[in-house]
Amino acid sequence: MDRRGFLVGAAALSGVLAGCTSSSETTGPGENASDGGEGVPPDISFEVAALREDKTLPARHTCDGTDISPELIMTSIAPAVDSLAVVFLDTSVRPEPFVHWTLWDLPATISTIPAGVATRERVEFETDAGGVEETVTVSQGVNSSGSVGYVGPCPPEGDGRHVYGMRLYGLPEAPDVDPGAEWSALEPALEESSLGRTVVTVWKENEGPST
């Protein structure tokens, strides 16, 4: 089947699935949810390896610990997807979400993103890509704290539970966005070219003083 045929078939299937799949980042904590839409492949999914049953992350992935990024495991990537991007947002913050992590230029053949990705604009890590161990070089952007790379959940003390969305975008090609870009530059590039996106929801409530 050619690319056009695949996308048309995927769109039809996504319509069938629309009644049983949530597109909200706040109603399905810890679940994968594919956003509906024309031409969206239904099979884009991943897992946050460290996510607990209560949909929280261990302290080492938050401001309560060493604050390193969690391992992400790709479970299904549609054949039409050539490039991936990861975005981690605190969607409880208004009017704009708090950006915790943006990562792009990921080849769609990778099976994992390891924990503890270095906080640099261009970073290398070892991964399994298409059954072959290799080093990939990816781009990261500026988070809402003003630093590059990952910064973990850290809601203000007494602010109640915050809801975070770990998004995985499937793209036909890597976005034309410079490393170190802010979310305001990356977001339109992702939304305009995205074939589909899936979200894993994470919860965090700060029981102690905020750092």
Beta-bridge partners for 137 = 124
- Residue 6's pLDDT band (boundaries 50, 70, 90)? very low
Nearest to 73, CA basis, from 109, 127, 111: 111
Domain count across the chain: 1
Mean pLDDT of all residues belonging to the chain: 81
**Rg of the Cα trace of the chain?**
17
Whether 7 maps to a domain, the answer reads yes
Q: Could you give phi then psi for residue 191, rounded to 5 degrees?
A: -65, -35
What pLDDT does residue 208 have?
56
Whether 210 maps to a domain, the answer reads no
Tokens of 202: 């994470």
Where residue 11 sits, what CATH number does that domain have? 3.90.280.10
Alpha-carbon gap, residue 66 to 94, rounded angstroms: 27
Nearest to 63, CA basis, from 152, 156, 149, 144: 152
Tokens of 109: 């053949």
pLDDT higher than 50, residue 72? yes
Whether 209 maps to a domain, the answer reads no
Condensed to tens digits (0 to 9), the pLDDT of residues 148-172 reads: 999 999 888 777 889 999 999 999 9
Helix (H, G, I), strand (E, B) or coil at 32: coil
Whether 211 maps to a domain, the answer reads no
Beta-bridge partners for 142 = 148
Average pLDDT over residues 76-88: 95
Whether 71 maps to a domain, the answer reads yes
Q: Provide the residue range defining the domain that includes 7.
A: 3-204
Whether 52 maps to a domain, the answer reads yes
Whether 163 maps to a domain, the answer reads yes
- Residue 129's pLDDT band (boundaries 50, 70, 90)? confident
Whether 197 maps to a domain, the answer reads yes
Beta-bridge partners for 123 = 138
Tell me the helix, strand and coil percentages in the chain, rounded to 5: 15, 35, 55
What pLDDT does residue 84 have?
97
pLDDT higher than 60, residue 33? no
